[in-house]
Structure 1
Amino acid sequence: MTRDPTDTLHVRANAVVTSDQERGANVSVSGPLSPDVGYVFSAAYNFWDGNVHNVFDDKQVSGREAVNVRGKLRWKPTDDASITLSLNYVNGNTDVGRPFIHIAPGARLRGVATLDPATVFPGVTISPDNQDISNNFDSRTKYQGGGGYLRGEFGVFGEMNLISISSYDRYHLDDYLDQDDTSSTTTYGNNNQIGSFDSEQFTQELRLQSPGDKPFRYTVGAYAATNSFERAFVRGPAFSIANWDATSKSRQVAGFVQADWTVYPGLTLTGGGRVQNERVSYTFVDHAAGNAAFSGKAYDTAGTYRGSVRYEFTPTVSGFFTYSTGYKGQTYDLTTGFNQNRALAGPIRPERSRDKELGLRTQFFGRRLTLNVTLFDTDYDNLQAQTIETLPDGTSNYRLTNVGGLNTRGIEFEGSATLASDLTLGGSVTYLDAKYTSFGTAQCYPLQTAALGCTGTPTRQNLTGTRVPQAPEWKFNVNADYSPRLTDTLRGVAQVNWQYQSSLYYAARDPETFQPAFHIVNVGLGIRDEDRRWEVVGFVNNLFDQQYYSSLVNTAGNFGNQIATQALLPRDFRRYGGVRLALNF
């Protein structure tokens, strides 16, 4: 999906520097090597120091550093044949800090009377705006990966087009976490987790396409893929102890077909289907339980389909209705807590969905005004989602399972307007109603009581009818770009972007994970070349310095069942400014 080679030399470059220590640059060069061979080469680097301060070692964390390199060669020996080779490589690292924003005066690490907040977080003042941590182990990740694809397109059987896509990808990640999130010198304050993750994927796809300018058009194809994953994980030594290795493999083959039929000008019917067969297998060795070993495999064959009707009322006004089904294959949850009971239960069942969409696409005033609206309604059965389970030592653990049913429905508006040659406006608004339709035995959240709905043996709560976590009811985005002429060759640049998100819970009903509604405004002011060959813009993001969280975690279980809430801070948790430079020639 990256840019194809160009017929002439083309260079794009961007750079950014900010007031909070971000710096980055990317460059893309494209052109011909010969009349039949073209190339694209791109590279990018980004570094950000982070917005969390670890007072234990006086380091900034929650930052990132990454290098990406891509290359593409396309050979076009004839007018109806082309071969494209694309390769990519990524290498990067992150560090993680999860500041405490709420903590009860009586909170004690693992319930130990002497391990109060002042002892385990020395130098940290807990508050909703806190950006400090005190960790004696660096929470971080380091990753690298690469791969590529070979794509061939060939004219066959006269007007038909045959496409072959072969791909390979490999990825490795090392992850480290200060599990107790403190700098306590006791064993409880040195509980860490270390893991590694490896993945490898091969895919092969073949598609035969009919001519695209006929009233009846179709595509038939086949797809095959193999995936393998390896995970090693160690946590301890004081609590939430884990030490295991796991592997997972899958093999998939599928056939698919889709046809578009323009019954008469303006009316197009579309139908398609896919049948796939999957095989999944796993191994799991729990070294913390005497090297208990488990393995298993499962097969499944499933079909999905899609149908739609589209009608063009005028060349710039059209409507459509689509009905489609979805399928997410069976899998195994290979995480801490895997045991004989999970092994005997077999794989997590496939998730299925049924989706309906009704929409209108319009353009007016010589295509200067675009207005689109889409209504959507999707039902999920056997929803695969992460839930929380309590381990024997009282700590919490996340696992994947089938949690019941879910419905998401809503409406989305989007539009853009060119009010003048130098002024454009754009925006979108989404209303989302996302609720569990069946989830009767959900895990209780930490500190939930019977009066708050946590009942039964084992304790549980009923989330049926409850809004899904991380699903805001309202979101909107409005942007404007004003580019007045300054001279015959220069234009000014004034940009504004306004984002809004309504409130949500990061864990269902848990008041400690409630994120109130918030607004974010970003502005930019600069200058650009008349032909946009270069541009310099100074910007301020989160102009009004509004604080919000990208995630909230209730860790009361680690602090004697007293309030202890941590946050992950977004990139724009605080206002920051910078300068962007763009070149395009």
Structure 2
Amino acid sequence: MTLYRLLSAAALTAFLPAMAQAQTAPAAPQAGLEEIVVTAQKREQNLQSVPVAVTALSGDALASKNVATVSDLPRLAPSLTVTQGNVPTNNSINLRGIGTSAFSTGIEPSVAVIVDDVALLQQAQAFSGLSDIARIEVLRGPQGTLFGKNSSAGAINIVTRGASKVLSGGATLRATTDEEYRVDATLAGPLGDNIGFRINGFYGDRKGYINNLTDGRRFNNDASYGLRGRLEIRPAAGLKIDLIAGHSVSSSNGTARTFLQVPTGATVFGAAVAPSIADIAPGYGNYAVRIDGPLYNKSVQSTFIGKASYDLGFADLVSITSYQDWKFRFAEDFDYLTGTVLGLSGGIVANSTYHATQFTQELRLVSPARKPLTYVLGLFYSDGATTRTFDRGPSGPVVARWSSRSGTISYAAFGQATYSFLDRNHIDVGLRYNHEKVSADFINLVPNASPPAANATCLATCSGVANDGVVTTKVALRRDLADGVMGYVSYARGYKGQGFDISSGFTPRRAANPVKPETSNAYEIGLKSRFLDNRLQLNVAAFWSDFNNFQAQSGILLPDNTIQLTLNNVGRVRTRGVEIELSAKPTPALRLDGSVSYTEAMIRSFPGAQCYTGQTVGCVDLDGAGPSTTTGQDLSGKRLANAPRLKFNIGGTYTIALPKAAFDGFVQLDYNYQSRVNFDLLQNPLTQLAPYGVLNASFGITPKGRGVALTVFVNNVFDKHYASNIAMATGGSIGLLSQTLGRDSRRYAGLKAHVEF
């Protein structure tokens, strides 16, 4: 972006004060920390009284720290990481080292993403950006008792802003040096005595930062827009109806992978890599590719939610009905080279489409928040389906062409009660029964497929159906140790449902044998405390979780030089560690926040794992029939993929009082660090990422009365390059590595203007 355009964006803000004539003066900075209210247990509670490890981030905190997507949350939440794939459907959200990155459309995530009380069917739906957010809660540890079966590692609970009793609105303009322009606008107010509304819209256009030297295309860009409307209706005493409808579109030239390492003489499907990396220096600083095929993706999402709450006197009856529709498609240059590959001019191209729909209905009975007994009782039903097509070719040995449908129907009954006794003691007991039916239909569209066999690709149609029922539990005992200090111990049984590994190479054996359910036993001891007249908050959690049949994906090299992604049931996994979160306000002008997590996420038993591509040491004969038949390795004692042992962040905001000015100033710094990780479950030593730390900074002004808040920010001040994923290049020679570089992996600056009225 030129300096002229950035200065133009700044000049535009000079006209905004006229829009803010009705803006009220902000309250003076309060002396202590504010109270944080969360819905981590499906009722409004003070964060400090909830026996769950929760990171709660207000909408204002997200905005001040430039959190624009779910992918930005690891900067603020301990033990949270995101593994970024070449398309959002290959992304994975991980908590305490546990997450599921799966090419299959029939496998659920380990971390549920909930938006306004409704869980998203596909985790990829969460990566389309955030707008008009009231609060995000990151819940660590199994949350299946209240939030369902796809939250065995935790949940991310996103709450959008509600309607307003008075007419109000606002707008935020953002421009950056890497050519992003975005506007968010909101209008809220009453429509008569019993109806409130809120309308939020956004539009953003960001240029790509990966340069294609073949034709000048810029990849890893984003063009998005969306609109969300909300009506809050009170037609009668004790009755409240909340209607929410949203639609968003996000499109991109694609998330391009770049070469991290290129051995001498490296090839992809037999074609030399060297001509395609002329003038390109492989490494973490490589933001260039040379490809001649397509790279594109587009996401279209619509959501409809209806909530009704009626006061029965002894409890509130709550009904939540939702329908979501998500369409996604992508096209990709599969070989990442220019010229002829496998005799194909223009190389190999992969195309895929997704269409996911889900209907849910939930009923809850929520008691008033008064002692000694409170409870939440509920019934839940969902019916979801995802169809997918995949086409890779157009011809040759790597051709794959298929369509599929995965379905899930769930019924559940759940409840959680809290009983207070002996004044300072409380016990929480939760129970959930869930029954699920999963199904898969796979149609192989490649002509002249291999002869049928138990392990051969389906000739035409393969179908599978499986049913499962499970009981999950949670028990927590907590005690108020002093005013503002609470200690707790808890146990939770986690569960993630079985599913079909639907991908290229789907076989009758896969159809008859779905991947087994993932279960866990989680133990936690914690302390939540506030001291010094609410100026200091210290929350600590120590956890120990054992997983059985952990679901994890890995890739192996096939004879045709393609990498087949296969889902495994890892025998046993253990994750344990400590998380500490600290907030302090030593003076009204200074706010400090920090967190640190130490996590040991280890494979306890996986003796028959596949060997990684090119492995020699540790790759042994498993059946005694010679190395040409069945080989593998023992992964027992190895770390899980993308599970840093140490992760911390620390930040501070200082408000600068300017008594004679119409505004005050502020300065904010945030530093984030994580230790070494390996992105490959099979422990390929080449796919490791070294430890790194990133510093972000911002400064600006906030008005004392009418006016505009201005923020100048710098992301990645020291321009530290790091990868969000590292993998063996598809179809490539041993040692040929590709990487995914996120936007935050390099420095950029920006200007943000915000006005409210």
TM-score, shorter chain, exceeding 0.5: yes
Find the counterpart in structure 2 of residue 125 from structure 1.
281
Residues 308, 532 of structure 1: CA spacing in aligned structure 2 closer, same or farther, 3 A cutoff?
A: farther
Distance (whole Å) between structure 2 residues aligned to residue 201 and residue 128 of structure 1? 40
Distance (whole Å) between structure 1 residues aligned to residue 378 and residue 367 of structure 2? 12
Distance (whole Å) between structure 1 residues aligned to residue 462 and residue 745 of structure 2? 44
Find the counterpart in structure 1 of residue 218 from structure 2.
60
- Kindly state the Cα deviation for residue 139 of structure 1 after the two structures are TM-superposed: 1.6
Please list the CA deviations of residues 345-394 of structure 1 after superposition, one character each: whole Å capped at 9, or x if unmatched: x2111111111111101111100111111111111111111122443424
Find the counterpart in structure 2 of residue 51 from structure 1.
209
Find the counterpart in structure 2 of residue 552 from structure 1.
726
Write the letter of the residue equivalent to 2:276: V
Find the counterpart in structure 2 of residue 97 from structure 1.
256
Whether the 8 Å CA contact 1:333–1:401 is kept in 2: the answer is no
Please list the CA deviations of residues 93-133 of structure 1 after superposition, one character each: whole Å capped at 9, or x if unmatched: 1222111121111212323xxx4333234443334421110
Matched, 1:172 2:327: yes
Distance (whole Å) between structure 2 residues aligned to residue 12 and residue 463 of structure 1? 54
Residues 471, 388 of structure 1: CA spacing in aligned structure 2 closer, same or farther, 3 A cutoff?
A: same
Distance (whole Å) between structure 1 residues aligned to residue 349 and residue 594 of structure 2? 45
Find the counterpart in structure 1 of residue 680 from structure 2.
507
Whether the 8 Å CA contact 1:54–1:132 is kept in 2: the answer is yes
| 3-state SS in 2 of match to 1:100 | strand
Q: Normalising by the residue count of structure 2, what TM-score does the alignment of the two structures yield?
A: 0.74
Distance (whole Å) between structure 2 residues aligned to residue 511 and residue 13 of structure 1? 48
Residues 533, 476 of structure 1: CA spacing in aligned structure 2 closer, same or farther, 3 A cutoff?
A: farther
Distance (whole Å) between structure 1 residues aligned to residue 543 and residue 203 of structure 2? 38
Find the counterpart in structure 2 of residue 208 from structure 1.
365
Distance (whole Å) between structure 2 residues aligned to residue 116 and residue 60 of structure 1? 24
Matched, 1:37 2:37: no
- Kindly state the Cα deviation for residue 49 of structure 1 after the two structures are TM-superposed: 1.2
Find the counterpart in structure 1 of residue 551 from structure 2.
384
Find the counterpart in structure 2 of residue 110 from structure 1.
269
Whether the 8 Å CA contact 1:521–1:542 is kept in 2: the answer is yes
Distance (whole Å) between structure 2 residues aligned to residue 436 and residue 180 of structure 1? 33
Distance (whole Å) between structure 1 residues aligned to residue 636 and residue 705 of structure 2? 56
Q: Which of 526, 534, 552 does residue 359 from structure 1 map onto?
A: 526
Find the counterpart in structure 2 of residue 566 from structure 1.
738
| 3-state SS in 2 of match to 1:416 | strand
Write the letter of the residue equivalent to 1:499: N
Whether the 8 Å CA contact 1:436–1:466 is kept in 2: the answer is yes
Q: What does residue range 274-313 of structure 1 map to in structure 2 within 5 Å?
A: 274-288=432-446, 290=449, 291-313=459-481
Number of positions where the alignment pairs a residue of Structure 1 with one of Structure 2? 577
| 3-state SS in 2 of match to 1:483 | strand
Find the counterpart in structure 2 of residue 230 from structure 1.
387
Matched, 1:458 2:630: yes
Matched, 1:528 2:702: yes
Write the letter of the residue equivalent to 1:15: L
Write the letter of the residue equivalent to 2:349: N
Mean Cα deviation higher: 355-364 or 285-294: 285-294
Find the counterpart in structure 2 of residue 138 from structure 1.
294
Distance (whole Å) between structure 2 residues aligned to residue 492 and residue 394 of structure 1? 58
Distance (whole Å) between structure 2 residues aligned to residue 523 and residue 429 of structure 1? 20
Find the counterpart in structure 1 of residue 129 from structure 2.
none
Q: What RMSD over aligned residues (CA atoms) do the two structures have, in Å?
A: 1.7
Matched, 1:494 2:494: no
Distance (whole Å) between structure 2 residues aligned to residue 368 and residue 421 of structure 1? 9
Distance (whole Å) between structure 1 residues aligned to residue 283 and residue 468 of structure 2? 50
Write the letter of the residue equivalent to 1:543: V
Percent of residue pairs identical: 31
Distance (whole Å) between structure 1 residues aligned to residue 638 and residue 621 of structure 2? 17
Find the counterpart in structure 2 of residue 15 from structure 1.
173
Whether the 8 Å CA contact 2:557–2:613 is kept in 1: the answer is no
Residues 184, 383 of structure 1: CA spacing in aligned structure 2 closer, same or farther, 3 A cutoff?
A: same
Distance (whole Å) between structure 2 residues aligned to residue 562 and residue 375 of structure 1? 41
Q: Which of 306, 315, 318 does residue 160 from structure 1 map onto?
A: 315
Whether the 8 Å CA contact 2:294–2:349 is kept in 1: the answer is no
- Kindly state the Cα deviation for residue 332 of structure 1 after the two structures are TM-superposed: 0.6
| 3-state SS in 2 of match to 1:403 | strand
Mean Cα deviation higher: 178-187 or 279-288: 178-187
Residues 340, 459 of structure 1: CA spacing in aligned structure 2 closer, same or farther, 3 A cutoff?
A: same
Matched, 1:182 2:337: yes
Write the letter of the residue equivalent to 1:11: G
Matched, 1:73 2:231: yes
Matched, 1:329 2:513: no
Whether the 8 Å CA contact 1:501–1:517 is kept in 2: the answer is yes
Residues 15, 149 of structure 1: CA spacing in aligned structure 2 closer, same or farther, 3 A cutoff?
A: same
Write the letter of the residue equivalent to 1:552: I
Structure 1: which 5+ runs fail to align? none
Distance (whole Å) between structure 2 residues aligned to residue 412 and residue 275 of structure 1? 30
Whether the 8 Å CA contact 1:378–1:408 is kept in 2: the answer is yes
| 3-state SS in 2 of match to 1:335 | coil
Write the letter of the residue equivalent to 1:469: A
Q: Normalising by the residue count of structure 1, what TM-score does the alignment of the two structures yield?
A: 0.95
Please list the CA deviations of residues 155-185 of structure 1 after superposition, one character each: whole Å capped at 9, or x if unmatched: 12x3221000000000111111111011123
Whether the 8 Å CA contact 1:55–1:123 is kept in 2: the answer is no
Residues 531, 350 of structure 1: CA spacing in aligned structure 2 closer, same or farther, 3 A cutoff?
A: farther
Mean Cα deviation higher: 238-247 or 476-485: 238-247
Mean Cα deviation higher: 431-440 or 335-344: 335-344
Mean Cα deviation higher: 411-420 or 44-53: 44-53
Find the counterpart in structure 2 of residue 252 from structure 1.
410
Please list the CA deviations of residues 517-539 of structure 1 after superposition, one character each: whole Å capped at 9, or x if unmatched: 00100111211113697411111
Residues 367, 70 of structure 1: CA spacing in aligned structure 2 closer, same or farther, 3 A cutoff?
A: same
| 3-state SS in 2 of match to 1:185 | coil
Whether the 8 Å CA contact 1:387–1:442 is kept in 2: the answer is no
Whether the 8 Å CA contact 1:106–1:562 is kept in 2: the answer is no
Whether the 8 Å CA contact 2:333–2:349 is kept in 1: the answer is yes
Distance (whole Å) between structure 2 residues aligned to residue 107 and residue 392 of structure 1? 17
Find the counterpart in structure 2 of residue 2 from structure 1.
160
Find the counterpart in structure 1 of residue 106 from structure 2.
none
Residues 391, 109 of structure 1: CA spacing in aligned structure 2 closer, same or farther, 3 A cutoff?
A: closer
Residues 322, 433 of structure 1: CA spacing in aligned structure 2 closer, same or farther, 3 A cutoff?
A: same
| 3-state SS in 1 of match to 2:383 | strand
| 3-state SS in 2 of match to 1:190 | coil
Whether the 8 Å CA contact 1:191–1:238 is kept in 2: the answer is no
Q: Which of 304, 312, 315 does residue 148 from structure 1 map onto?
A: 304
Distance (whole Å) between structure 2 residues aligned to residue 79 and residue 214 of structure 1? 25
Whether the 8 Å CA contact 2:556–2:613 is kept in 1: the answer is no
Considering fraction of residues, name the structure with more strand: 1
Whether the 8 Å CA contact 2:493–2:520 is kept in 1: the answer is yes
Distance (whole Å) between structure 1 residues aligned to residue 356 and residue 289 of structure 2? 32
Write the letter of the residue equivalent to 2:637: G
Structure 2: which 5+ runs fail to align? 1-158, 450-458, 623-628
- Kindly state the Cα deviation for residue 458 of structure 1 after the two structures are TM-superposed: 2.1
Please list the CA deviations of residues 483-510 of structure 1 after superposition, one character each: whole Å capped at 9, or x if unmatched: 1111353111101000101110111421
| 3-state SS in 1 of match to 2:275 | helix
Residues 532, 301 of structure 1: CA spacing in aligned structure 2 closer, same or farther, 3 A cutoff?
A: farther
| 3-state SS in 1 of match to 2:631 | coil
Distance (whole Å) between structure 1 residues aligned to residue 418 and residue 502 of structure 2? 42
- Kindly state the Cα deviation for residue 301 of structure 1 after the two structures are TM-superposed: 1.0
Whether the 8 Å CA contact 2:273–2:337 is kept in 1: the answer is no
